[in-house]
Every structure is written in C-alpha cells, then in structure tokens.
Amino acid sequence: MGRRALWRRVGMGKRVSRFRALLLVVFFAAPAWGSGTEQRVPILLYHRFGLVARNAMTVRTAVFAEQLGYLKSHGYRVIPLRELVAYIRGVGPPTPPHAVVITADDGHQSVYTDLFPLIRQYHVPVTLFIYPSAISRASYALTWNELRTMHGSGLVDIQSHTYWHPNFRTEKKRLLPQAYAKFVAMQLEKSKAMLDKKLGTPVNMLAWPYGIYDDDLIKEAVAAGYVAAFTMVSAPAGPANNAMALPRCLITDQDTGGTFGRLLKRNSR
C-alpha cells in the first residue's frame, strides 16, 4: 500500500472514531422520558363562575381573574391537560417547571360568559368536561355553538363527563347487574360519540361524576376508549398515579391571594 493510501485510511479511521464517539455522547446525553425525579402537577378544577358565589361550586369571576394573574406573576405555566396525560402515560416528555393545568366540569353557561374571555386575555389552555345531554337543552348549560366557538379558539379542549352525570353508586344499587352494565356502557360511549359528532374532537378523557369510580368502572372506561380519567381528590398528579383515577384540586371562592399560593405549593412537587 502506498504512503498516500495509508494516510487516507488512517484519516478515515479517525473520522469514523470521532463519529462513533459523537453518537455515544448524543445517546447518553439525550433526556429519557421517565428518567430522573417524577414531576407532580396540580390540576385545578372549577365548575361555575359569577358576580357572587351563590354556592360552594361557584367562584366569583373577579377571583378567577385574580388567580390567573397570580399564576402569571409567580412564574406558573398553564399547560394543556393532554400534555400532562401524555407524560403520566409515558408517551410524552416531562412537563415544564411550575406547570399547572386548568379544567372545568359540567358545561355551565358561565364557562362561556366568564371563563372564556379571561383565558383568551391570558392566553391559557383549559379542558372542559361536558355531559352532552344538557347542552342546548338545559337553561343553565352551554349551547353547541358556544362549545364550537370555544373549541375553535385553540385554547379549549372538550372531553367527556359521561352522558348525563349519573351517580354510579346510586345506579348500581338501583339496577340489576345486567341493566347496570348496559347503563354504564351507554353513559361512557354515548357521551364520546355525541361530542365527536357535534364538535369533531377526539374524546378519550373522562371526568368521573361526583368523583365516583371503582375497578369495574375503570375497566369499562378503558374498554370504551378512554386513556385517562379524573377524580376530585385534592393532590398533585404524576406518573405514580393511576391514569384512570388522576387527582384534581377543587378550587373554591375562598382560594384567593396567599391561600391560593399555598394550595399551589402543596400540590406542586
């Protein structure tokens, strides 16, 4: 072999070695989803809004605006619920530092008149859990057009709260086993089908009515195509939780100022 060919081979060998070394650095330096300390994120749960707090489920609109301002001024980042669920299920990256999620259940008219303008102002995402039987029918409820408007904003994801918000514990006592099984399947499947038909949105998350669930209900929800479901247990949500029974922090009108801050700190780990 000539001297020039020998140097070319040596040079190529060095380049290959450097390339292999670079691949090893990239491989071992790349973050692995699920490695390191597990992140825990507070999922805030709202129901209704108004000028006055007429009941325990109503948060004054001014208080909600104050809470959004607190999140912004204290460095919290409101992320879509889907991002947190993907991380919890091990199919998405970790959430950013100081992440928080906002949800609202039931589909009360004040979600459109009070919540929606504020989330547009602050440009934060929200997930609504809706029971479709009331939409455009009950006087207190949202209309399908209002849901379409919110969904079209890109800030609002719409998911299932069953078809008419039953108390599964009561229905299980009232119905024979076969009838109860059909009832559960209807509540889980009809809600998904109607929301998809009316809004064209993929529905695969569920808020348990009254926070009631058990192993059989979870099994039925998974069979119906749900990948995550949510309770009313006040705790942060993370990979250590069962994805079909994720906790949420119920927010009340009393959660203002320092009280709201302490709630966030307790549920952010």
Q: In order of start, what are the domains of the chain with their CATH numbers?
A: 41-161+229-267 (3.20.20.370)
Instruction: Please give the pLDDT value at position 1.
Output: 52
- 235-261 as b/e, with b when 16 or more CB fall inside 10 Å? bbbbeebebbbbbbbbbbbebbeeebb
Instruction: Please give the pLDDT value at position 205.
Output: 98
Q: Environment class of residue 227 by beta-carbon count within 10 Å: exposed (0-12), middle (13-18) or buried (19+)?
A: middle
Instruction: Please give the pLDDT value at position 38.
Output: 86
pLDDT averaged per 10 residues, the chain (length 269): 45 42 34 62 98 95 98 97 98 96 98 98 98 98 98 98 98 98 98 96 96 98 98 96 98 95 89
